[in-house]
Structure 1
Amino acid sequence: MTATATIDAARVDAAMRRALELAARGPAVGVNPQVGCVLLDAHGEIIAEGWHRGAGTAHAEVDALSKVADARGLTAVVTLEPCNHTGRTGPCAQALIDAGLARVVYALPDPGEVAGGGAERLRSAGIAVEAGPQAEAAAELLRPWLTSARLGRPFVTVKWASTLDGRAAAADGTSQWITGAAARQRVHEQRAAHDAIAVGTGTVLADDPTLTARGDGGAMLGHQPLPVVFGTTPVPADAALRRHPAGLVELGHRDLERGLAELQERGIRRLYVEGGPTLASAFLRSGLADEVLIYLAPLLLGGPRTAIDDLGIGTMSQALRLSIHRIETLGDDILVTARPTPPQE
């Protein structure tokens, strides 16, 4: 038994919570997961920390190892099972073996067919391996990435803004602005936290949106989501989307599943759906929405312009049920974050 095996569970759990804090510093966008790592000595004290900063940079384990001269006998606490493949960087499992680690503790197994298997590789090298601490918290942090890895398509966030009576626009079509400045700024931040942002051709023709992610003063945020247009009508040559800094993807069809598969192949793992009622309803109706963001303004408009169109539901027993994950107040508005729940028997 190594000296590190005496580290009590409470210290390991605390180290995992710290590793999760580090993981959250990494970019939410891109093909790679957010991962954090801490190295513990025989007394359970943290002596090095690391996290993944994006594709092509050192993985969390290697980042932490780079900060110690001698890692022999240490314990690595990692938020995700060390990878077992060579991409732009080498396998983290082998890096831990080469460094002489005595023990590795991770929160979640890697679901990937290519990257998975790191734990087995570590055990084969004689390293003690454990899984499970803070697994629920790690799964919440990595929910979009895990969903994409499991389903083979981007994690889909469907967003809309409406009045309290469910209207997205007045009877004459005007909709600016239903929500206030704080809510609109949160939308820009959410855009920047996604790889791509989707609208339909109807929204492009009616509103000529820019779909950029901007700060309070109008300056561009660091990451700009790739605009994606569902539909068969070409985007006009003079449309604002033609000048988007991230480029433009016109799918040329309305097939959602096919479109998501094409985006997955492009490396898109998080898609923000911000089209009008037609596109939002299509994603909901097809069961392709993983999260719903509903901005509610303290207004009443009445009239026909509802935020969501027909979902193909004919009776209450068929209702699309949502579980409320979070409710926030943004100025005078409310943001409801909800998740579709499986149909009841």
Structure 2
Amino acid sequence: MEASVSTTAAPASAQLQHAMRRALTLAANGPARGPHARVGCVLLDAHGEVVAEGWHRGAGTAHAEVDALSHLAPGEAAGLTAVVTLEPCNHWGRTGPCSEALVEAGIGRVVFSVEDPGEHSGGGKERLRDAGIPVEEGLLADEVEEFMRRWLVAARLQRPFVTVKWASTLDGRAAADDGTSQWITGAAARQHVHEQRAAHDAILVGTGTLLADDPSLTARGDGGELLADQPVPVVVGERAVPEGSRILQHPHPLIEERTRDLSAVLADLFAREIRSVFVEGGPTIASEFIRRGLVDDYLIYLAPTLVGGSRLALGDIGVETLDEARRLRVTAVTPLGDDLAIVARNQSGSSS
């Protein structure tokens, strides 16, 4: 029998909001990288008291709802309210569907924040409603959308979330006219870059940067040690990677994309379960990502230095008149020694 419930978000009680924020906190315990969403779940009784909690710990482990249910004896979940950050999944993957687990446990009500955009994993709310379980959606959706932004962008666009990074002087130069660029920014900013590398699934450069700089593309600590999380190195371009290149000593095998078609590159990386890419090439590849509308976050390190000359941080991005300018919204400004790290995104959506 189908439950008679509204398909729009109803006004949430303070207890439900508190539970959803707790579920967000739990979700943050999960791995931030990789193909799986960070999800948290809180089970409440009729008085709004927390009975059990759970979160997803990564590929092959119990999803948040199943993890929360695992803390209860059979029958103890009957009639409880499940508060979940993401719509319960409805497919068999490495684990079974959460919607079925909630139905079998006798859950009395489900409140989730964001709909699962997955082609195969979505549809949990319909399964729950078909089983007669009331479902409410949209609770604290803005907060949860922001928390899950990288994963949601990748899932909705079927390509990795793209961060384009560059460092420049105050007058927008990436190097002096003789080509020298080490170092525009100070030690604190450069260490911040390594932390951002470690926070992404992959790091991408073009063959021009590879041949000019011979980068290792690893994420390192203050003392030069390798950090625990390393991005997969990706080189884009038609020229071959020379033998003896430092990138070939990277902890992860190199992915060579012998094409200039960036959309095809991103589609291939998505198929490899890469969900976030840190673009750290020079002006040519950064400009091409922007020109093609493939940037979700801009990360600019700005140094209080003037050098003048022709070595601009960006080249042609497809803007011929001011009316065509890419309008961005700054979301964070972080002082790093004498430098600034500025994070921005497109005003009209997730990508350029």
**What TM bracket, shorter-length normalisation?**
over 0.9
What secondary structure does 2:20 align onto? helix
Match of residue 32 from structure 2: 28
Structure 1, unaligned runs of 5 or more: 2-6
Task: Pick from 243, 248, 252 the counterpart of residue 246 of structure 1.
Answer: 252
Q: CA deviation at 1:8?
A: 7.0
How far has the Cα of 1:216 moved from its partner?
A: 2.2
Contact preservation (8 Å) 2:12, 2:139: no
Match of 1:213 among 194, 209, 219: 219
Tell whether the 8 Å contact from 2:150 to 2:276 is kept in structure 1 after alignment. Answer: yes
Letter in 2 for 1:26: G
2:54 to 50, 56, 74: 50
Cα displacement (A) at 1:60: 0.8
CA RMSD of aligned residues (A): 1.6
Structure 2: runs of 5 or more not aligned: 4-10
Separation in 1 of the partners of 2:348 and 2:52? Answer: 42
Post-superposition CA distance 1:253-285 (Å, at most 9, x none): 111111111111111111110000010000001
What CA distance in whole angstroms lies between the structure 1 residues aligned with 2:337 and 2:95?
45
3-state SS of paired residue (2:120): coil
Give the number of aligned pairs: 338
Cα displacement (A) at 1:15: 0.6
1:1-345 aligned at under 5 Å gives the runs: 9-69=13-73, 70-342=76-348
Secondary structure, counterpart of 2:175 in structure 1:
coil
Cα distance in structure 1, aligned partners of 2:202 and 2:29: 20
CA distance in 2, matches of 1:126, 1:215: 53
What secondary structure does 1:34 align onto?
Answer: coil
Q: TM-score of the superposition, structure 2-length normalised?
A: 0.93
Distance of 2:300 and 2:85 partners within structure 1? 30
Question: What amino acid sits opposite 1:36 in the alignment?
Answer: G
Local SS of the residue matching 1:189? helix
**1:312 offset after TM fit, Å?**
2.6
Runs (4+) of structure 1 moved beyond 6 Å?
A: none
Shift of 1:47: 2.3
**Offset from partner CA, 1:108-145 (integer Å, 9 cap, x none):** 11111211110111111121211111100111111111
**Does the Cα contact within 8 Å between 2:174 and 2:313 map onto a contact in 1?**
yes
Which deviates more from structure 2 when the two are superposed, residues 41-50 or residues 112-121? Answer: 41-50
1:167 deviates by 0.9
* TM value normalised by structure 1: 0.95
